[in-house]
């Protein structure tokens, strides 16, 4: 259990402080929260984390006039272990295997994937809000980048939900894995602080999505679902910028005062190979390069994100423990002297 530094936010016990904080369901009214209409980035992020309903989590970070919310002096850090979730959004400890792209001709498999992808985006929304209140002293430019990524993830979630609804699915009756939030304790415990978040979120989870979005884009297209394919492409395009943001700032935070190239465009963000060193130093276990990719490895978007060839190749060659075990079994089964 994690407690605030200078602020108390007990999300799991909205009425009684004795309730276990791991409870993810709000009281009878899941929309109730001590946070009113947001008037700043901080209050907007707290509403995302403290309210259990989907509309609150997907409300864009703008005021009643449609203008961006100000990022006012953000006060003390707020440490939250998990966000509040209403009954229809409750997270579970695991999930079924995602259908392979070749199975997407079946509507049920398409709905399964769309629901899973929408929930990944919802967790990403919460993750960016979590980072913004946990590390209020981050540089203003980085905070703007994280807030922009948060708004992107909200839009992605709604796009997937629209496609799920078009298929007749119901997001709030599906199972929702807590995969992203299972990584939070390792990020919290890391001495790398916000660099651990950038490594886990931007350079692992979002880097992997550079592959998955294109794999499932093509799967939806082959199944005749061009609209869902277009959503995957739109998400992919934004992920390139998110990966670039993480790569750029993990180096800046590691070496304060040293400017990197490409503040707006995805140009090489560091000396060749230093992004790999920064990543490996900051990424918290069990996140790591083997989880930063899909089965179909895409080089081009990684280059567009400004990743060095050293980092790209390291991720390409990384093997998970399960993969290493399969390789060992395969090698053991070969005749003596066989190779390759």
CATH number for the domain spanning 199: value is 1.20.1260
Q: Which of 30-39, 209-218, 319-328 has the highest mean pLDDT?
A: 209-218
In a domain, 119, yes or no: yes
Assess contact for 283 and 311: CB atoms under 8 A. no
Residue 49: is its pLDDT beyond 60? yes
For residues 183-189, give the mean pLDDT.
Answer: 96
In a domain, 59, yes or no: no
Residue 73: is its pLDDT beyond 70? yes
In a domain, 55, yes or no: no
Return the number of other C-beta atoms located less than 10 Å from residue 155's C-beta.
17
| Residue range 100-110, pLDDT digits in tens | 999 999 999 99
Task: Report the Cα 294 to chain-centroid distance in Å.
Answer: 15
In a domain, 217, yes or no: yes
DSSP-derived letter for residue 275 is H
Q: Say what the pLDDT of residue 46 is.
A: 96
In a domain, 53, yes or no: no
Give the total number of structural domains in the chain.
1
Domain that includes residue 165, residue range: 105-319
Residue 25: is its pLDDT beyond 60? no
For residues 278 and 276, what is the distance between their CA atoms, to the nearest angstrom? 5
To the nearest whole number, what is the mean pLDDT of the chain?
84
pTM for the full predicted model: 0.82
pLDDT band for position 212 (cuts 50, 70, 90): very high
Assess contact for 196 and 282: CB atoms under 8 A. yes
For residues 294-317, give the mean pLDDT.
Answer: 97
Please tell me whether the peptide bond between 131 and the residue prior to it is cis, using omega within 30 degrees of 0: no
pLDDT band for position 279 (cuts 50, 70, 90): very high
| Residue range 228-263, pLDDT digits in tens | 999 999 999 999 999 999 999 999 999 886 554 444
Residue 304: is its pLDDT beyond 50? yes
In a domain, 139, yes or no: yes
Residue 271: is its pLDDT beyond 70? no
Q: Say what the pLDDT of residue 256 is.
A: 81
In a domain, 43, yes or no: no
For residues 135 and 142, what is the distance between their CA atoms, to the nearest angstrom? 11
CA distances in angstroms from 237 to 19, 30, 198, 243, 269, listed in the order given:
42, 34, 19, 11, 18
In a domain, 302, yes or no: yes
């Amino acid at each position: 259990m994690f407690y605030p530094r200078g602020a108390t936010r007990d999300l799991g016990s909205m009425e009684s402080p004795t309730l276990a904080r791991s409870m993810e369901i709000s009281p009878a009214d899941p929309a109730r929260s001590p946070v009113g209409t947001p008037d700043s980035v901080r209050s907007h992020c707290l509403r995302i984390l403290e309210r259990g309903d989907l509309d609150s989590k997907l409300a864009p970070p703008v005021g009643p006039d449609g203008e961006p919310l100000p990022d006012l002096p953000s006060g003390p850090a707020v440490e939250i272990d998990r966000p509040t979730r209403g009954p229809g959004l409750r997270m579970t400890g695991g999930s079924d295997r995602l259908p392979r792209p070749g199975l997407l001709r079946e509507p049920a498999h398409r709905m399964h994937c769309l629901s899973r992808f929408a929930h990944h985006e919802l967790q990403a929304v919460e993750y960016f809000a979590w980072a913004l209140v946990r590390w209020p002293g981050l540089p203003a430019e980085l905070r703007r980048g994280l807030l922009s990524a948060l708004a992107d993830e909200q839009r992605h979630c709604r796009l997937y939900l629209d496609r799920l609804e078009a298929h007749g699915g119901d997001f709030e009756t599906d199972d929702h894995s807590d995969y992203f939030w299972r990584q939070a304790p390792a990020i919290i415990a890391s001495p790398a602080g916000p660099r651990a978040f950038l490594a886990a979120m931007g350079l692992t989870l979002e880097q992997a999505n550079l592959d998955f979005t294109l794999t499932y884009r093509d799967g939806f297209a082959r199944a005749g679902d061009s609209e869902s394919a277009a959503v995957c492409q739109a998400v992919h395009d934004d992920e390139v910028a998110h990966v670039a943001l993480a790569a750029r700032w993990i180096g800046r935070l590691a070496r304060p005062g040293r400017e990197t190239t490409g503040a707006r465009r995805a140009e090489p963000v560091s000396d060749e190979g230093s992004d790999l060193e920064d990543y490996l130093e900051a990424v918290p276990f069990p996140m790591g390069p083997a989880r930063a990719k899909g089965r179909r490895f895409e080089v081009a978007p990684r280059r567009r994100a400004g990743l060095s060839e050293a980092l790209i190749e390291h991720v390409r060659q990384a093997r998970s423990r399960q993969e290493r075990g399969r390789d060992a079994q395969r090698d053991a089964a070969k005749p003596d002297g066989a190779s390759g």
